[in-house]
Amino acid sequence: MILGLLIIPLLLVSLAFSALAVFGLYRMPDVYTRIHGVALIQTFGTLFAVGAILFYSAVSYLAGYGDRFLVLFIHVFIAVIVHIITNPTGTHALARAAHRSGIMPEPAIIDALAEKEKREGGAEV
């Protein structure tokens, strides 16, 4: 019962962040703001969900329900580390690919990458 009192709020916060990410995906005007909104907000949603899983597995292991909860804890912990590393890398790669394919940001946005490429005399490889 007490375990549910701590896990349910974590899952509700995760659900709220995930819903905001979906809203941002449909509401934002261009690919760059969509990437920004979804990547940042969904990372928080994932971290809260993973926090609930980590808490549940740690409490279950310490309560003596078996070693499978320790294995679950380790696997989820490794997965969250991989997610923290790959999410910004993937977001950066998507934004850079969109820019190189000619998709320009909305006019109100300052395009620092294009300005940098103009100063250097060409596109980076």
Q: Please indicate, yes or no, if residue 112 is contained in any of the structural domains.
A: no
91, pLDDT greater than 70: yes
Q: Is residue 47 part of a domain?
A: yes
pLDDT at residue number 41: 86
Does residue 123 lie in a domain region? no
Buried b (16+ CB within 10 A) or exposed e, 27-45: ebeebbbbbebbbbbbbbb
Grade residue 99 by pLDDT with cuts at 50, 70 and 90: confident
pLDDT at 125 over 70: no
pLDDT at 109: 63
DSSP per-residue letters across 78-105: HHHHHHHHHHHHHHHHHHHHHHHTT-PP
Counting the structural domains of the chain, the total is 1
Tell whether the model's pLDDT for residue 36 goes beyond 90.
no
Kindly report, residue by residue over 54-74, the tens digit of the pLDDT.
999 999 999 999 999 999 999
Q: 124 lies in a domain?
A: no
The domain in which residue 94 lies consists of 2-105
